């Protein structure tokens, strides 16, 4: 029997027989055939099948090329969740470009910076957001979604678009971070990572062809955690809504929505709305952005939501880990189940590796108590920060991506967050997890949500302060809440100060602790760990 020869590295074309560069754009080409007449997208009163959606993507891509788009050229979108923004996730990379989906809640100056820094030559914009482009140079081409966008598509061809992709490691998108400590950084995703994380999301979220996915998560946020691409893998339907409103969202749940993603604060908004009720059919939910409290998890279960807790960052394409229940966990008391479900879990099937390490990059004991930094490496780690080699080198120190999150690892390998490194409170030499304190606060039945930060203290250096929002119609004094926390926390962890009121949030529902911290520490220096 003749020896088996390996492909020659001098003739890379020989690899084509057994290799296709991984890219999520292939998922749409397949969906246009396999799921041709199945519903792909609902956007208001507009409906598209997968065949129609693929046709529009091809037309969009060919129109971009007809406008002289170059390979690797950045194309920006400032748009609410909609069919055109979903379409761009396929059409822009299909044309050879790189998608830059921009946060719709940024200021004109921030949007102008992102467009300038990314080098985008075109920006597609929702009509309601045109004013946000006020500081963008007039040399940047603007296309308003609506008639102008449809006219551009009409110039395109409904035919396969020749791929310019030569390596799955080429960039597919740039996602800009929130920039809470300076200018936002551009996180570069590659085709390979987008493809693999898209499949992981569909697998872990248990999405199938009959699923109807509701776009409560902004598509500009980590490219919608890669669900923008992943739904095409199984032919599931996207239901686009420009913004989340609790009443209409509950109606959509009753009308057949099966899956959605949301931050814990969005979940809190839903479960405390007057329209909240136990659903006749279960709805699956991915939640991330901040650790959900056991109290919230238990309430979601009561309303027939099947919650999966995931964890990640923009730099790792959104969710990197998922909480996987252990055998027999479902037989435990509800409170214990919720506590276990609050852990961040283990890497998803396509992600890679996660560790909890000390300052010398040594693994901490798997005792569920020793804290260290969460570090990751693998398939769904960013290429780096766009045109920022110094920040990239810092993030990849030691050959791992440094998350800046502090956590512990349990004996079963699952990780559990304790805090952001910049959020941990060191009071009199003792470490205090703000997450632990927050969970104690929100366990009070009158509390809707809270944020805990360190505030300066003459004796202890810094102590916990809780900013608390009460449920509508509820009343509670600071003394009553402190007494409640004393039953759940060591004395030194109990909040020394309580402030009632609303909380500042990002467009994805994450509480902006830095705004609270800046106010409390104004004029004073605070050591950041």
Where among 382, 405, 420 does a domain terminate? 420
In a domain, 238, yes or no: no
Lowest mean pLDDT across 29-33, 85-89, 432-436, 442-446: 432-436
Does 491 lie in the same domain as 354? no
Q: What is the DSSP string of 185-210?
A: -EEEEEHHHHHHHHHHHHHHHT--TT
Does 136 lie in the same domain as 60? yes
Query: Does the pLDDT of residue 337 top 60, yes or no?
Result: yes
Does 504 lie in the same domain as 390? no
Query: Does the pLDDT of residue 431 top 80, yes or no?
Result: no
Q: Give residue 408's pLDDT band: very low, low, confident or very high (50, 70, 90).
A: very high
Q: Give residue 181's pLDDT band: very low, low, confident or very high (50, 70, 90).
A: low
What's the domain range around 109? 45-197
**Sheet with 497-500, side-by-side order of all strands:** 447-457, 461-470, 497-500
User: If residue 149 lies in a helix (H) or strand (E), which one and from where to where?
Assistant: helix 147-154
The number of distinct structural domains making up the chain is 3
Where among 392, 420, 448 does a domain terminate? 420
Does 394 lie in the same domain as 514? no
In a domain, 387, yes or no: yes
- What pLDDT, on the 0 to 100 scale, is given for residue 525? 66
Lowest mean pLDDT across 60-64, 318-322, 388-392, 418-422: 418-422
Does 432 lie in the same domain as 372? no
Where among 371, 402, 420 does a domain terminate? 420
In a domain, 526, yes or no: no
Sign of CA dihedral 311, 316, 318, 323: negative
Does 268 lie in the same domain as 378? yes
Does 510 lie in the same domain as 374? no
d(CA 512, CA 506): 6
Global pTM reads 0.85
Does 159 lie in the same domain as 51? yes
Joined tokens for residue 201: 């999301």
- Is the pLDDT higher at 525 or at 96? 96
In a domain, 211, yes or no: no
Does 271 lie in the same domain as 413? yes
Q: Give residue 15's pLDDT band: very low, low, confident or very high (50, 70, 90).
A: low
Joined tokens for residue 192: 């390979």
At 148-157, the pLDDT tens digits run: 999 999 999 9
At 353-366, the pLDDT tens digits run: 999 999 999 999 99
Query: Does the pLDDT of residue 291 top 80, yes or no?
Result: no
In a domain, 2, yes or no: no
In a domain, 339, yes or no: yes
d(CA 248, CA 447): 24
Residue 62, φ and ψ in degrees, nearest 5: -70, -30
Does 404 lie in the same domain as 285? yes
Query: Does the pLDDT of residue 8 top 70, yes or no?
Result: no
Write the secondary structure of 10-78 as one string of H (helix), E (strand) and C (coil): CCHHHHHHHCCCCCCHHHHHHHHHHCCCCEEEEECCEEEEHHHHHHHHHHHHHHHHHCCCCCCCEEEEE
Closest by CA to 216, choosing from 236, 245, 237, is 245
Q: Which residues contact 108 (CB under 8 A, 6 or more apart)?
A: 131, 132, 133, 134, 135, 136
Does 381 lie in the same domain as 364? yes
Reduced to 3 states (helix: H, G, I; strand: E, B; else coil), residue 467 is strand
Query: Does the pLDDT of residue 131 top 70, yes or no?
Result: yes
CATH number at residue 473: 3.30.300.30
CATH number at residue 342: 3.40.50.12780
Does 134 lie in the same domain as 50? yes
Q: What is the mean pLDDT of the chain?
A: 92
Q: Give residue 527's pLDDT band: very low, low, confident or very high (50, 70, 90).
A: low
Dihedral angle, C-alpha 283, 287, 293, 294, nearest 10 °: 40
Contact between 381 and 401 under an 8 Å Cβ cutoff? The reply is yes
d(CA 487, CA 441): 11
């Amino acid at each position: 029997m003749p020896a088996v020869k390996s492909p020659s590295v001098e003739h890379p074309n020989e690899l084509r027989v057994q290799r296709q560069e991984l890219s999520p754009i292939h998922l749409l080409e397949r969906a246009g055939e396999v799921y041709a007449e199945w519903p792909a997208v609902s956007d208001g009163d507009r409906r598209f099948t997968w065949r129609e959606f693929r046709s529009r993507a091809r037309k969009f891509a060919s129109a971009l090329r007809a406008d002289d788009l170059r390979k690797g050229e950045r194309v920006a979108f400032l748009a609410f969740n909609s069919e055109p923004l979903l379409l761009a996730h396929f059409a822009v990379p299909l044309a050879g470009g790189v998608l830059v989906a921009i946060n719709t809640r940024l200021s004109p100056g921030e949007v102008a910076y992102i467009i300038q820094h990314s080098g985008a030559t075109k920006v597609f914009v929702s009509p309601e957001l045109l004013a946000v482009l006020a500081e963008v140079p007039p040399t940047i081409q603007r296309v308003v979604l609506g008639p102008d966008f449809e006219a551009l598509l009409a110039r395109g061809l409904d035919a396969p678009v020749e791929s310019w992709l030569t390596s799955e490691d080429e960039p597919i998108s740039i996602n800009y971070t929130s920039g809470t400590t300076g200018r936002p950084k551009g996180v570069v995703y590659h085709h390979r990572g987008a493809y693999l994380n898209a499949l992981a999301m569909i697998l872990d979220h248990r999405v199938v062809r009959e699923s109807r996915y509701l776009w409560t998560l902004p598509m500009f946020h980590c490219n919608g955690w890669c669900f923008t691409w992943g739904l095409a893998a199984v032919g599931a339907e996207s239901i686009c809504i420009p913004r989340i409103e609790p009443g209409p969202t509950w109606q959509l749940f009753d009308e057949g929505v099966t899956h959605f993603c949301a931050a814990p604060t969005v979940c809190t908004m839903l479960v405390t709305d007057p329209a909240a009720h136990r659903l006749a059919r279960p709805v699956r939910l991915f939640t991330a952005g901040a650790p959900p409290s056991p109290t919230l998890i238990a309430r979601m279960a009561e309303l027939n939501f099947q919650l999966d807790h995931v964890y990640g960052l923009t730099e790792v394409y959104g969710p990197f880990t998922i909480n996987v229940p252990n055998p027999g966990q479902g037989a435990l008391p509800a409170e214990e189940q919720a506590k276990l479900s609050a852990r961040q879990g283990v890497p998803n099937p396509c992600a890679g590796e996660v560790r909890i390490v000390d300052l010398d990059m040594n693994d901490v004991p798997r005792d569920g108590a020793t804290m260290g930094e969460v570090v990751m490496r693998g398939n769904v780690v960013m290429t780096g920060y766009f045109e920022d080699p110094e920040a990239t080198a810092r993030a990849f120190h030691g050959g791992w991506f440094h998350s800046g999150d502090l956590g512990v690892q349990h004996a079963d390998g699952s990780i559990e967050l304790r805090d952001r490194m910049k959020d941990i409170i060191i009071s009199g030499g003792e470490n205090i997890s703000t997450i632990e304190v927050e969970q104690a606060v929100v366990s009070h039945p009158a509390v809707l949500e809270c944020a805990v930060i360190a505030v300066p203290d003459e004796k202890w250096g810094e102590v916990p302060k809780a900013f608390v929002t009460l449920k509508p119609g509820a009343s509670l004094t600071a003394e009553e809440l402190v007494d409640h926390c004393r039953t759940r926390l060591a004395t030194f962890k109990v909040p020394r100060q309580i402030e009632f009121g609303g909380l500042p949030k990002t467009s994805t529902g994450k509480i902006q602790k830095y705004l609270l911290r800046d106010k409390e520490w104004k004029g004073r220096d605070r050591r950041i760990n």
